[in-house]
Amino acid sequence: MVEESRYTGIGKHVKRKSVRDSRTAFSIKSGSKFALLVLRDCGNSCTVNSPLDLGDGYWFLPSHELPMNTLLTDWFGNRTIAEIRKAQFCLAVIGAVNEDDGALRRRVLYLYDSVIMLALPRLGRGYLFSGKKEKGRLNINSWSQIQHCQVVFRYRTTGKVESNTLRAAKNLAEGFCTVCENKNAYERLERGLFVLEQALKQSRLQDRLHQFVRALEALVKPRKGRNTKDFVHRCRTFVAPNASTAATL
């Protein structure tokens, strides 16, 4: 495969192999650990209908490719099994046998958060599983419920999740990992990401605007005593640098 350079947005340029196309078959190798997040797509938001290898152990799976259907009867009642099987949206992370289960769950949740931020799909309640494949059999170590995403759509139409969206979300998720694993270096940015996530869930426009401004402040880092001037000057990096934009900011 051809190597390509990518930039996570946080950190250094790194080399990796190019991602495989969407026709790649999904499988979990014996001895590997996994974290799997299955959700119901409430708005037909996703256009990807085959397994998509996002690289570095990250995957998107349609519901018919779930690798654990045979395990469900060992853990759940018929009603819960029926709900899980209605899921059309599945995110997975495959890790090494020595990788911590909690780290795998965080990685798949960062991928989920990234998809929400990039596309605002209508996703319902879901289930998060983690486990290991041993001697050819999948074993679930833990599971939990994920409440449906409370993103408010009043001010924006629902986005479509396409293959490019998922690949971009994977890069953003890796950035989240870098930030959260190096809190001393990225404490301000971590707070900004949290505020941005909260802004998407605010129902009142003025509250959303306030939170969006706080998120931008975490990124542009205005100097004390020069907040307004620095905010206007540095935010013009992201928008048209003209007098009208400056007045709006």
The domain locations on the chain are 3-181, 189-248
- Find where tokens 């798949």 sit: 108
Is the pLDDT reported for residue 108 higher than 90?
A: yes
Mean pLDDT over the full length of the chain: 77
pLDDT tens, position by position, 117-159: 888 777 777 889 898 988 888 888 888 888 765 555 554 556 7
Confidence tier at 15 by pLDDT (50, 70, 90):
very low
How far apart are alpha carbons 126 and 84 in whole angstroms? 8
DSSP state of 20: P
Is the pLDDT reported for residue 113 higher than 80?
A: yes
Which range among 90-94, 107-111, 124-128 shows the weakest confidence by mean pLDDT? 124-128
What's the average model confidence in pLDDT over 104-117? 90
pLDDT of residue 22: 40
Closest to 109 (Cα-Cα) out of 171, 173, 164, 155: 173
Percent of the chain surpassing pLDDT 70 = 78
How far apart are alpha carbons 179 and 164 in whole angstroms? 23
How far apart are alpha carbons 32 and 172 in whole angstroms? 24
At 30, phi and psi to the nearest 5?
A: -60, 135
The DSSP string of 236-249 is TTTS--SHHHHHH-
Confidence tier at 8 by pLDDT (50, 70, 90):
very low
Confidence tier at 69 by pLDDT (50, 70, 90):
low
Which range among 18-22, 195-199, 230-234 shows the weakest confidence by mean pLDDT? 18-22
